[in-house]
Amino acid sequence: MSGYVVPFLDEAQTTRMRAEDFDRSKNHCHDAAWNLLCKRRQCLFRLRPDLAKEIELKNYQRMEEGHRQEALMRQEMVDAGFKLWHPGRVEWEEFELTNEIDDMITENPKGERQKIVLDYKSCDPYVFRDVRRMGSYDDLLGSKYWWLKHYPIQMLLGQARYKNQEGLLVFKDKSGGGKHEVFGLLDDHKELLREVLARMKEVNKHVAEHKAPAAVRIPECEKCEFLEFCFPDSPPMEGEAPMKRISGEEAASVITSLERMAELEPLAKEYEDLKGGIKSMFKGESVRVGDWIIKSTQVQKRAYKVPDEIKKEYEYINTYFTVRIISVTRPI
Ligand code: SF4
């Protein structure tokens, strides 16, 4: 028997999450970092949210799972002896900003009174492995995962709104349950905060005038809910091949391969990390360990030192295509 439970669960989940959709008449902390990239997106969300691409079920599933993990983490904090205060939604009228910080630590298990803005984030094991190496907001801002860059800005806005120096992000590995924390001080990021708030004022001005800035194609457009509205014909960026849509059996087969590729990605990354790590440990020595042999062999390759003027004489531009595969449904 199939289709007995899942379609009903999916429909109920979609209805539940749609009902949770928040008020788009204000700027939101959690995507404020977008105004560093594209103020148009912030304006469109406030002026024409109906033009945004509908959220897909799999993103609702991911978001709701994240909410559940947050609730679990909150309970773990309480069980560990932290006293928390949940500020609820707080408006920052001056910037037409609405704030969604998860909790505030008011007392630690040693009984010391504190005020630390706290936010829980859950991530898959693949991302968690990288997050675990990050110790500061700056590390997150420099992350290759674009959505991680938003977190410190969300936090700084919360810290500034509550006039709190300290902010703490607690990450949890959704699969293994491991945790990692990243602290950030407001004073260390004053310049960034100033820039975000200044740009938010520009967004507010555009919204008051009922117009959004012109669309300018940037790499992040691929992830944006307004891509089809801004660029209905998807004009390519310089050097990009024109975009075409594929459908039917061809699309189904490519989607199957892409989804399988996404499933395998964490394992492939782990495999490459392990293999690279082991190889670099034993460069120049061979060992036998357990059922394995790690063999290091010296290789000689012929190389040529060519003077620059000769190189110039033979220089030419080799034109070819590179291919990037981008998931447009990663959470913001
Ligand atoms: S598609 Fe690009 S230009 Fe349009 S709102 Fe999104 S990020 Fe901005």
**Residues facing 294 on adjacent strands:** 287
Structure token pair of residue 70: 């947050």
Instruction: Say which residues have a Cβ less than 8 Å from residue 147's Cβ, sequence separation at least 6.
Output: 330, 331, 332
Express each pLDDT in 22-43 by its tens digit.
677 888 887 777 778 899 999 9
Counting ligand 1 atoms within 8 A of each CB, the residue from 199, 216, 221 with the most, and so the one to mutate, is: 221
**Distance in Å, CA 239 to ligand 1 centroid:** 19
Residue 120 lies in a domain: yes
Sequence letter at residue 316: Y
Q: What is the pLDDT of residues 281-300, one digit of tens each?
A: 999 999 999 989 999 999 89
| Domain assignment of residue 114, yes or no | yes
249 shares a domain with 130: no
The percentage of the chain sitting over the pLDDT mark of 90, rounded to a whole number, equals 44
* Domain identity same for 167 and 96: yes
Instruction: Indicate if the pLDDT at residue 4 is higher than 70.
Output: yes
Residue 85 lies in a domain: yes
Q: Are residues 38 and 120 in the same domain?
A: yes
Residue 217 within a domain = yes
- Residue 231 Cα to ligand 1 midpoint, Å, equals 8
Q: 43: Cβ below 6 Å to ligand 1?
A: no
Residue 137 clears pLDDT 90, i.e. is over it: yes
Beta bridge partners of 116: 105
- Alpha helices by DSSP H, listed for 30-178, are 34-37, 39-47, 57-79, 125-131, 137-141, 150-161
Is ligand 1 within 6 A of the CB of residue 52? no
Of 287, 305, 309, 308, nearest to 296 by C-alpha is 287
Supply angle C-alpha 226, 227, 233, rounded to 5: 130
CB hemisphere CA count around 37 (13 angstroms):
20
Q: What residue type is 184 in one-letter code?
A: G
Residue nearest ligand 1's atom 4 by CA: 230
In a domain, residue 302? The reply is no
Identify whether residues 57 and 194 lie together within a single domain.
yes
Sheet holding 27-28, edge to edge: 27-28, 97-99, 90-92
According to DSSP, the residues that pair with 120 across neighbouring strands are 170
Are residue 139 and residue 259 in the same domain, yes or no?
Answer: no
Is the same domain home to 176 and 265? Answer: no
Which pLDDT tens digit goes with each residue over 156-215?
999 999 889 999 999 999 888 999 999 999 999 999 999 999 999 999 999 999 999 999
Domain match, 122 and 271 both: no
Same domain, 89 and 166: yes
Residue 301 above 50 pLDDT? yes
> What pLDDT, on a 0 to 100 scale, did the predictor assign at position 110?
95
The answer on pLDDT for 247 being more than 60 is yes
% residues pLDDT > 70 (the chain): 96
198 Cα–ligand 1 center, Å: 20
Average pLDDT over residues 4-29: 80
Whether the pLDDT of residue 62 is over 90: the answer is: no
What is the number of the ligand 1 atom nearest to the C-alpha of 41? 5
Both tokens assigned to 67: 């909410």
**Is it the case that residue 330 has pLDDT exceeding 70?**
no
Residue 154, pLDDT above cutoff 60: yes
Q: Give the number of domains in the chain.
A: 2
Ligand 1 pocket, 273 CB below 6 A?
Answer: no
Query: Could you tell me if the CB of 47 is within 6 A of ligand 1?
Result: no
- The answer to the question of residue 240 being in a domain is no
Separation between Cα atoms, residue 20 and residue 211, nearest integer Å:
27
Task: Count the neighbouring beta carbons within 10 Å of the beta carbon of residue 43.
Answer: 24
Q: Kindly report the pTM of this predicted structure.
A: 0.73
Domain interval for residue 272: 245-284
**Pick from 36, 33, 35, 41: nearest CA to 215:** 41
64-96 pLDDT tens trace: 888 899 999 999 999 999 999 988 787 899 999
Please give the distance, rounded to the nearest whole angstrom, from the Cα atom of residue 280 to the centre of ligand 1. 42
Q: Are residues 11 and 148 in the same domain?
A: yes
Nearest partner of 66 among 174, 163, 139, judged by Cα: 174
What pLDDT is attached to residue 22? 66
Distance CA 137, CA 25 (A): 28
CB 183 within 8 A of CB 138: no
Residue 41 Cα to ligand 1 middle (Å): 5
pLDDT over threshold 50, residue 332: no
* Mean pLDDT on 298-306: 89
pLDDT at site 149: 87
**Alpha helix locations (H) across 285-332?**
308-314
If you take atom 1 of ligand 1, which residue's CA is the nearest one?
Answer: 227
